[in-house]
Amino acid sequence: MGLGKTLECGILCRELIRRARQAAAGGDHQEHAGAIPEGVLDSLLVPLVRLDSVGIQHIREQIPTNQNPFHYYDKAIVSVDTLKNDRDYRFYLDNANWDIIVIDECQNVAERARGAQKSQRAKLAERLATRSETLILLSATPHDGKPESFASLMNMLDPTAIADPSNYTKDDIKDLYVRRFRKDVIADLRSSVKERDSADVDCPASDQEERVFALLKDLKLPDSDAKAKAGQLFKTTLAKSLLSSPMAALQTLRHRLKRLQTASTPAPADSAALQELEPLLAAITPADFSKYQRRLQLIRSDWSWRGNEPKDRIVLFTGRRETQRFLVEHLAADLGLPKGAVVGLDGAMLDVEQTRVVEQFAQEKEPVRILVDTEVASEGLNLHDLSHRLVHVDIPWSLMTLQQRNGRIDRYGQPQQPQIRYLLSCSRSEGMGDAEKVLRLLKRKDEQAQQNIDDPAVFLGVYDAVGEEEEFSKAFESGTVEALEQRMEANAEPYRRKNSGDSLFDELFGSGACEAESGTQAVAVHQRQPFSLFPDLWSYVDTALEAVAQQLERRGEKLDLRAFPEQQRLEITPPSDLQRRYDRYPRELQPPRGQRRALSTEVAALQRALGVCRKTRPRVSFPQP
């Protein structure tokens, strides 16, 4: 998580594009170079046009009906969820070809259990895999513990690689994947990956909350519980909601009451118990909401945060929409922030709206200071450019989800030490049972994974966020949290001694699979300096531009150029042929016409310019038809 998969992908794409240009110069044919990832940005000077559902529709309105909108731009970036609708895009995708297709968070397009119906995402990925010369898949959670699921991804890369998806070896796919954990590369990344500062923030319950906890302890729902599976009792669901906010718990309770009232089978005992609890939850005001008051104290006092520094923004995570709505509604006023300083990001928003919010959070000129996220933001988003503070309003009962959340700010390139805080409800009574034990166990295991395992999924071995949540819920309901921790320790012990991809086959086929297939020899890599006719890059640039100036003079055009050799930097007004190239760029990539362009061979200068661009880039807009 956050180790630079996108950067590695960008380096690979740049190299592939360079080779394609060399081949084209030699007379080989070159198709369009396209990228269709979910969340990967044009971070390494691969200019991608971001397309969403609105942008694609604008293109379709501007071109003849028999033309393909995916031929409009040769390098594009589109959400998988935008494209997965067969009715809208299948015909066009089946008739488009790319040189490169990249799919980020590829675990979301893998096939699931044998016999299960393929998801729209899986169908889309299989279709795209046949439409490109090169396919690149990226993931920090590459499988769900089932060999068939991982095999479906490998077969997208090479349909001949695996004969039996339930039984294959490392040798079958060794050339198709690279897997690295934090512990494998942290020595090389130490200057760009800061040590995490995380801490619990205890939130003693108010008197009003204690009344709810006390009643919840003895809550009996005989009608519902008789039908529910272990780990899925409504009392557990209600407890999780309450650990988020009284508002979320009240919404959950009212939804259940409404269902009971309209159910064909009466459940009078359940209804009576929940109706007794409802007024107690409704009576909890923001002043009585202990986690909210402690959160304000954390931000204002513990962190001395005032919101006047555009480079110091805060990310809040909650698993409940009602909690998110409460925070967006109250935080700005209670923290003395102006309108627009607190915004929410959730899965109910259109892709266009989600993109707009993420871009606003990454730009210094925007007023956004606090981003309140639901789990839709836990995958594939970079929120670390202007933020190093993250607060878990509630803790997800899944280690995989917890790591995904933390990875939004604790990632490669984070310039400051990540500060992560976990808000924990503390009750004087035993009304929440083992809930507090579950939450502290989740935090401990996340820290252990960070230190010496990296993949938190090995603790439970279910490799699925929903499955992990059920395991913790079962332990909570049965009072066996300590036994669960012992089992997690035993599961993780073998992986503390393994590195990189060697643990993959243990996870897929059980302990011992790797040892049986080990013995591959380490590959010795020898590097040499590339051959060049010029002593350095600046000498090449200087000579090349002198030749260009002579060509322009012969056709009566003067090259407006100022060179600064000591700085290895130059400024140039684009000549007519370069301006024509710019005119073919998408509108959001076109520089202002006639503006002088600065070029430099200094890597640090380029990095500074990229940083400014990320923080000030305008939102992508498409020409109106």
Tens-place pLDDT, residues 211-237: 999 888 888 888 887 777 877 889 999
pLDDT at 34: 43
pLDDT at 265: 80
- Residue 424 tokens read as 């924990």
Total tally of structural domains belonging to the chain: 3
Q: How far apart are CA 29 and CA 249, in angstroms?
A: 61
Asked if the structure places residue 249 within a domain, the reply is yes
Residues 216 and 331 in one domain: yes
Asked if the structure places residue 63 within a domain, the reply is yes
Phi, psi of 130 (to 5 degrees): -95, 0
pLDDT at 586: 66
Average pLDDT value for residue range 355-365:
90
The domain boundary residue, chosen from 137, 161, 177: 137
Residues 547 and 601 in one domain: yes
Average pLDDT value for residue range 466-478:
92
The domain boundary residue, chosen from 480, 498, 516: 498
Average pLDDT value for residue range 82-101:
86
Asked if the structure places residue 504 within a domain, the reply is no
Residues 489 and 547 in one domain: no
Residues 27 and 84 in one domain: yes
The domain boundary residue, chosen from 498, 526, 548: 498
* Residues 492-546 pLDDT 10s: 887 776 655 557 777 777 655 544 444 445 567 777 777 788 888 888 888 888 8
Residue 241 has pLDDT above 70, yes or no: yes
Give the alpha-carbon dihedral of 502, 503, 508, 509, to 10 degrees: 80
* Residues 375-408 pLDDT 10s: 988 887 889 989 999 999 999 999 999 999 999 9
pLDDT at 289: 96
Residues 269 and 122 in one domain: no
Give the rounded distance of the alpha carbon of 215 from its chain centre. Answer: 39
* CB half-sphere exposure, 341, CA atoms < 13 A: 19
Closest CA to 612 of 312, 353, 381, 386: 386
* Residues 34-53 pLDDT 10s: 434 333 334 445 777 778 77
Residues 541 and 488 in one domain: no
Asked if the structure places residue 624 within a domain, the reply is no
Q: How far apart are CA 552 and CA 576, in angstroms?
A: 10
* CB half-sphere exposure, 599, CA atoms < 13 A: 14
Query: Beta strand pairing status for 313-317 and 387-392?
Result: parallel
User: Which residues make Cβ contacts (< 8 Å) with residue 397, sequence separation at least 6?
Assistant: 240, 438, 442, 468, 469, 472, 473
Asked if the structure places residue 148 within a domain, the reply is no
| Three-state DSSP class for residue 588 | helix
Asked if the structure places residue 183 within a domain, the reply is no
- Residue 518 tokens read as 């080990």
Calculate the average pLDDT of the chain.
84
Lowest-confidence segment of 292-301, 446-455, 521-530 by average pLDDT? 521-530
pLDDT at 452: 73
Lowest-confidence segment of 203-207, 279-283, 444-448, 613-617 by average pLDDT? 613-617
Taking each continuous run of H as one helix and of E as one strand, the counts in the chain are 25, 13
pTM: 0.79
pLDDT at 517: 44
Closest CA to 434 of 200, 240, 208: 240
Residues 275 and 337 in one domain: yes
What is the residue range of 72's domain?
5-137
Residues 30 and 111 in one domain: yes
Residues 263 and 119 in one domain: no
Asked if the structure places residue 56 within a domain, the reply is yes
Residue 410 has pLDDT above 80, yes or no: yes
- Residue 519 tokens read as 């013995």
Residues 380 and 481 in one domain: yes
Residues 330 and 389 in one domain: yes
* CB half-sphere exposure, 243, CA atoms < 13 A: 28
pLDDT at 115: 53
**Domain CATH for 228:** 3.40.50.300
pLDDT at 513: 54
